[in-house]
């Protein structure tokens, strides 16, 4: 799959550089909210999962940029991320996100020390291969890859992870049914990440990558407001810390043409040996 993704990137770059695509660049052009928000991994889409959309407000005639800050305070832990993504002619996306996971008082109970922090860096790329979210007969179809590297190598190995870095590969299909204002998206992800990679990759229960399903549904109530829900199936690789699937219910509001605020109720299940990790997802994203 990695070879197919690399080949698709080369083909897309060739398409963007050919004379037929050498049109003058222009800013903006997308319908509000159709570029999605920033997922926890940094890719454009929903909060929990990427969609087959490209970051930024550009159309096929432009280059776009988005930046986000996200916090997810749950019962016993605090998660935060920040990052940025570039969109090229609404075809290729390059993204970066830095994640931080604070164990708060639970860190002491786990023997890590109070307020111990896990962190990782995520470098992502996505290519929209065919279709369009709104205007084409085909839905938007994209593939992507995310390389993740932990900042806590020794600790994640001590927890049972086989590797401190790894890559996810995914394919996603998304469609906005404009007449009904309903968006549906489905993603298949090949991954061996533990808690997105914050606890390393692979473990004593499962070493190899497994295929996981992710899905989103949203209803655009008005030009500026959308509500919806998401599901992200997770691998369960570590014997020391069971990992549950994730759910959320969200509302996204376009404060301006370039600024979107998103609030969600999020259920992360069991995280790092502690059950019932539920709380808020809050994100502010700027896109141009």
List Cβ neighbours of 94 (8 Å cut-off, separation of 6 or more): 85, 86, 88, 124, 125
In angstroms, rounded to a whole number, what is the distance separating the alpha carbons of residues 85 and 65? 6
In angstroms, rounded to a whole number, what is the distance separating the alpha carbons of residues 150 and 137? 41
Give the model confidence (pLDDT) of 214-255 as tens digits.
999 999 999 999 999 999 999 999 999 899 999 999 999 999
Give pLDDT, residue 110: 84
Give pLDDT, residue 28: 73
pLDDT above 90 coverage of the chain, percent: 86
List Cβ neighbours of 132 (8 Å cut-off, separation of 6 or more): 138, 139, 140
For residue 10, what is the DSSP state? H
In angstroms, rounded to a whole number, what is the distance separating the alpha carbons of residues 229 and 266? 10
DSSP string over 249-274 = EEEEEESSSSEEEEEEEEE---BTTB
* φ, ψ (nearest 5 deg) of residue 4: -65, -40
DSSP string over 195-248 = GGGTT-B--SS--S-EEEEEEEEEEE-SSSEEEEEEEE------TTS----EEE
In angstroms, rounded to a whole number, what is the distance separating the alpha carbons of residues 162 and 158? 9
Q: Determine if residue 111 is left, alpha or beta; phi over 0 gives left, psi from -120 to 50 gives alpha, anything else beta.
A: left
Give the model confidence (pLDDT) of 116-173 as tens digits.
999 999 999 999 999 999 999 999 999 999 999 999 999 999 999 999 999 999 999 9
In angstroms, rounded to a whole number, what is the distance separating the alpha carbons of residues 203 and 189? 18
What are the structural domains of the chain? 2-287 (2.40.160.40)
For 285, the token pair is 């994203």
- Provide mean pLDDT across the span 179-183: 96
- Provide mean pLDDT across the span 271-282: 95
In angstroms, rounded to a whole number, what is the distance separating the alpha carbons of residues 127 and 142? 5
On whether the CB atoms of residues 125 and 88 are closer than 8 A, the answer is no
């Amino acid at each position: 799959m990695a070879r197919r993704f690399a080949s698709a990137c080369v083909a897309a770059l060739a398409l963007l550089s050919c004379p037929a695509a050498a049109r003058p660049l222009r800013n903006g052009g997308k319908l509000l909210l159709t570029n999605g928000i920033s997922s926890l991994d940094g890719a454009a889409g929903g909060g929990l999962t990427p969609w087959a959309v490209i970051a930024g407000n550009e159309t096929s005639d432009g280059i776009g940029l988005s930046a986000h800050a996200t916090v997810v305070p749950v019962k016993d832990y605090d998660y935060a991320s920040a990052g940025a993504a570039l969109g090229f002619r609404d075809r290729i996306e390059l993204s970066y996100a830095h994640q931080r996971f604070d164990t708060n008082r639970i860190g002491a109970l786990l023997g890590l020390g109070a307020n111990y922090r896990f962190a990782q860096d995520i470098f992502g790329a996505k290519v929209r291969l065919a279709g369009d979210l709104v205007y084409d007969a085909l839905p938007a179809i994209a593939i992507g890859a995310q390389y993740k590297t932990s900042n806590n190598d020794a600790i994640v190995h001590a927890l049972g992870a086989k590797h401190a870095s790894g890559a996810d590969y995914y394919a996603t299909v998304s469609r906005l049914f404009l007449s009904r204002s309903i968006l549906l998206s489905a993603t298949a992800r090949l991954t061996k990440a533990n808690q997105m990679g914050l606890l390393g990759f692979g473990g004593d229960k499962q070493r190899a990558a497994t295929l996981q399903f992710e899905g989103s549904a949203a209803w655009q109530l008005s030009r500026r407001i959308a509500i919806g829900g998401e599901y992200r199936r997770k691998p369960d690789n570590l014997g020391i810390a069971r990992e549950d699937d994730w759910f959320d219910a969200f509302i996204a509001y376009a404060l301006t043409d370039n600024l979107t605020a998103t609030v969600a109720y999020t259920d992360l299940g069991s995280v790092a040996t502690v059950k019932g990790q539920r709380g808020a997802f809050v994100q502010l994203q700027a896109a141009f």
